Structure 1
Amino acid sequence: MTTMVDVARRAGVSVATVSHVVNDTRPVRPDTRAAVLAAIEDLGYTHNTLARSLVTARTRSIGLAVSAISNPYFTEILQGVEAGALEAGYSLLIADPHDDPGHERKVVQLLHERRVDGMIVAPSAEPAELIDYVTRRRVPTVFLDRLVGDGFDQVCAESAEPVRRLVEHLADLGHTRIGLVAGLPGLSTTTERVEGYRAGLRARGLPFAPELLAGGNSEAEGAQDATRHLLAAPQPPTAIITANNAMTIGALQALRDLGLEVPRDIALACFDDFSWADLFTPRLTAIAQPSKELGAAAVRLLLARLDDPARPPRTVRLPCTFVHRTSCGCPETA
């Protein structure tokens, strides 16, 4: 088996220099680093991560706990986390807590028992057990996508202002009855998007009508029911905003079942863009979250916490992008 000694001989450097290159523990001159990396490639040297973890008490691994990994939004976040972790020399252990508080606690404990150096977690609507676990055991943790309050590292996209912009856009098109299919109660994203909805109504001088706000529980099936509920009102909405991509699918299914055509019969705009949104007929007007950037930012926050456990906690908010298409009723050329 090839060792560091073999690499050092091939590169003409000391074993300590090879160690610094492999472990990134000290700056090494670019030409020397290149020689070491070339020797590693030539000899097929594989770094013994396990042996190093016994010395440093680090496993160079990160636990990632996000629900609905099959959701395109979280898939892109995963790509951002994976790319950031790989660049920093970390591996990932991934688990799905299913947005269930009890299961979430078990998942986090299992990741912790596998000695990950830290965790990135998208918390459920009731994260008390999760917060208690990572706080008591001092597990370096970054909360992703959803805020849990002060005192923790967390990263998420803006939620209120983008929804406000959707409301204002629909109002400017002449809609005065604008419905919202909101997400799972208790999530910070749900609270903020409802706040943005109400702020948009106020900005355009429109009253808030409770019957135009329906909960879709952040899932397609719930959004189907919520959309039917909205359209059964004595004065139904002429436009609907859905608060995540899964609920957009549910709303579209409900509209199809009711024989309604977008945007001829009702306008539709959604929070969360996804790769095939541009392929729908009509093309979906959407708020695009910086998914991969969120994942990468979470990794940076966690690595900063590992390097300096005493640093003050940070909350990072990233802006979203308004993607103007035609489901809102605007012409193709708008």
Structure 2
Amino acid sequence: MAGRAPRQTPTMADVARRAGVSVSTVSHVLNKTRPVAPATVRSVLGAVAETGYVPDPAARALGSTGYGTIGLAMSALSNPYFSSVVHGIDRHASAAGYSVLLADTHDEADAEIKAVSELLRRRVSAIILAASGDGSPAIRYADKVDVPVIAIDRFVPAGVDQVAVDNAEPTAFLVDHLAAVGHTRIAMVTGRAGLTTTRERRAGYLLGLRRNGIEADPRHEADGDSSEDGAGVAVGRLLGLAEPPTALVVGNNRMTIGALRALRDAGLSVPGDLALVSFDDFEWADLFQPRLTAMAQPARSIAEQAVAMALSRITSPALPPRKVTINPAFMHRESCGCPPGAP
């Protein structure tokens, strides 16, 4: 970002020309003053990201919410794990004299652009982003106005600072553990399609099957859409198979709640009828009966690294992009079928 020639500030008219709509339509999309067709909304938001347009009202309000603020764009309200990350980021940013401004992306690409747009309107000094996909449009948008982006939780192809956990090998380890207990019909409830975490954890699941000599069965993969309800439907489909699985790997903690509810409603016990392990831990996972075996993401470490990257990027924008991979911790409890205290 350093060393660039000054650029002209994009206007709403530039956005309108790029999107092929009127200026008033752009205004209605951005200010939500009139319903606009979804396709037009996507076109306008894409043009906003491509041009780097930032609405003027925020520029006039720069003194009240400007420098000294780090933007945080993620699906914070729908993911229990992210709540811990938000708390950690706020704590570390506050210690450095920065406030944190949160914008919810709902894990949707269009909402992500809106969230980043809102943060840029507030003239944040940097944005920490948990991307809904590869994050490219949002990252390009921030880059056009020279605001650094730090990607967390989900690695992205763009050359920005990023910190996340390893997803593939830890998921393979969960499969290893179930296979060591004696399971051969191991199924997985996968997360929302398009998320890098979904792809990586599914790849780890398949890797674990291969290295334990278990043939992959497509019927044993069920899309849980990263939601409680989606996981419940997925588990119902798996239980309806002629030979249902005897063990289950669940792709995140929110889906674990839905999976456990579905098993309870079916009159099945864990691990007596079906062993269960999860990627993502809960603060209260050891209060379940049985206690949940899970891969715990180190939310505090991720938050600390993300804030440190943001602060160093603000002061030294010419630093080369950095990528930090953190290993999750295996929390060995009883839902996998092992007795308490087992190694």
User: Does TM, scored on the shorter chain, surpass 0.5?
Assistant: yes
Matched-pair contact (CA < 8 Å) for 1:269–1:284: yes
| Aligned residue in 2 for 1:118 | 126
After superposition, give the CA deviation of every residue in 1:112-131 in whole Å (9 maximum; x if it has no partner). 11111111011112634313
Query: Looking at CA atoms only, which structure, 1 or 2, has the larger radius of gyration?
Result: 1
After superposition, the Cα gap between the structure-2 partners of 1:68 and 1:78, relative to the gap in structure 1 and judged at 3 Å, is closer
Q: What is residue 195 of structure 1 aligned with on the other side? A: 203
Unaligned runs of 5+ in 2: 1-60
Deviation at 1:136, TM superposition (A): 2.2
Native 8 Å contact 2:62 2:123 kept in 1: no
* 3-state SS, counterpart of residue 151 of structure 2: strand
Contact 1:78 1:292 in 2 (8 A): no
Would the aligned equivalents of 2:250 and 2:277 in 1 still touch at CA under 8 Å? yes
Q: Which moved more, 1:245-254 or 1:142-151?
A: 142-151
CA distance in 2, matches of 1:150, 1:120: 14
Q: Is the CA contact 1:214–1:229 (under 8 Å) kept in the aligned structure 2?
A: yes
2-structure distance, mates of 1:262, 1:272 = 18
Between the aligned partners of 2:134 and 2:200, the Cα distance in structure 1 is: 16
Q: In structure 2, what is the Cα distance between the partners aligned to 1:333 and 1:77?
A: 30
- What percent of counterpart residues are identical? 49
Match of 1:197, as an amino acid? Y
Question: TM-score under structure 2 normalisation?
Answer: 0.79
Q: Do residues 237 (structure 1) and 245 (structure 2) align?
A: yes
Deviation at 1:132, TM superposition (A): 2.7
DSSP 3-state at the match of 1:146: coil
The Cα shift of 1:333 comes to 2.5
* Aligned partner of residue 132 in structure 1, secondary structure: helix
Alpha-carbon distance in 2 for matches of 1:323, 1:96: 29
Match in the other structure for 1:147: 155
The alpha-carbon distance between structure 1 residues 150 and 128, as it changes in their structure 2 partners (threshold 3 A), is closer
**Conserved? CA contact 1:218–1:244, under 8 Å:** yes
Decide whether the 8 Å contact of 2:106 with 2:112 is kept in 1. Answer: yes
Do the aligned partners of 1:101 and 1:126 also contact (CA within 8 Å) in 2? no
**What pairs up with 1:174-253 in 2 under 5 angstroms?**
174-253=182-261
Query: What TM-score, normalized to structure 1?
Result: 0.81
- 5 Å-filtered alignment, 1:62-141, equals 62-69=70-77, 71-125=79-133, 127-141=135-149
1:215-273: per-residue Cα shift (whole Å, max 9, x none)?
A: 11111110001111111122211000101000000100110111111111000000111
What amino acid does structure 1 have at the position aligned with 2:323? T
Question: 1:177-222 CA distances to partner (integer Å, 9 max, x unpaired)?
Answer: 0000011111111111011101111111111111111111111110
Which amino acid letter does the alignment assign opposite residue 77 of structure 1? V
2:324 is aligned with what amino acid?
V
Counterpart secondary structure, 1:233: coil
SS of the aligned residue for 2:336 comes to coil
Q: Is the Cα contact below 8 Å between 1:125 and 1:184 reproduced in 2?
A: no
**One-letter code aligned to 1:137:** V
Amino acid at match of 2:126: G
Residue 42 of structure 1 corresponds to none
Return 5+ residue gaps in structure 1 as ranges.
Answer: 1-52
Q: How far did residue 166 of structure 1 move?
A: 0.5
**Which secondary structure state, in structure 2, belongs to the residue aligned with residue 194 of structure 1?**
helix
Give the letter aligned to residue 154 of structure 1.
Q
Pairing 1:294–2:279 present: no
Would you say how many aligned residue pairs link Structure 1 and Structure 2?
Answer: 281
Q: Which runs of 4+ in 1 moved over 2 A?
A: 68-72, 125-129, 135-138
